[in-house]
Chain A
Amino acid sequence: GNSVTQMEGPVTLSEEAFLTINCTYTATGYPSLFWYVQYPGEGLQLLLKATKADDKGSNKGFEATYRKETTSFHLEKGSVQVSDSAVYFCALNEDGKLTFGQGTILTVHP
């Protein structure tokens, strides 16, 4: 079956540091890939997405590139802010429903 594996957290960074959260997936076909974010006290919301190989999704300074050859969709941001503190979930959609990774807690200190 489909599965998503994220790097274990939590991740703690200083403001303006570079962020990478690794995500790899297993799927039988060619899924769409997503990063969702959950801010404290709020619901899951879409951060970015990519629907085919080599696509780059981007939003709010975050980027992720769909790499079919390595079955990866790593999340990056060049300079994090305190307001980026949240839980980040990688997910894939191949058969009409999302399969999520376990989530990575990011804490950014001033």
Chain B
Amino acid sequence: DTGVSQDPRHKITKRGQNVTFRCDPISEHNRLYWYRQTLGQGPEFLTYFQNEAQLEKSRLLSDRFSAERPKGSFSTLEIQRTEQGDSAMYLCASSKPSGSNTGELFFGEGSRLTVL
């Protein structure tokens, strides 16, 4: 399978614990995005990388959230001191380099977080 893969698919944690999600993009894609989706809403942009550089962060990304893409390949999204309001589906997407990029993003199946 050469699509975007995310791990874990489901995570249940207690309030105050730290969680980390991993995303492996499509191999030739240099842009990687994180989105959050809550029930009944469309995905909301969190942050994105071009290669290893984090180019933009949403105001939704509080200081408890940190994302990395150290080698320009896979990425991790860590949430520290989780709160019940963090419960959501965290989506990763990737896209082709600019020049061949029509704006289409390719999404993984998401990592569902439940904070008890």
Contact = CB atoms under 8 A, between A and B. Distances in A.
Contacts, number: 58
Contact count band on B: 20 to 34
A100 interface: yes
Contacts of A4: 42
Interface in B22-44: 31, 33, 40-44
B108 A51 contact: no
B31 A103 contact: no
Contact of B104 (A49, A99, A100, A103): A49
B4 to A, nearest CB: 8
B102 A51 contact: yes
Contact of A98 (B40, B41, B45, B108): B45
A99 B45 CA distance: 7
Which applies to chain A's interface (DSSP): helix, strand, loop or mixed? strand
B103 A44 contact: no
Interface of B: 4, 31, 33, 40-45, 48, 55-56, 91, 93, 98, 102-110
Given A34-B103, A44-B91, A93-B105, 7 more contacts: A31-B103, A89-B42, A89-B43, A96-B98, A97-B45, A98-B103, A102-B41
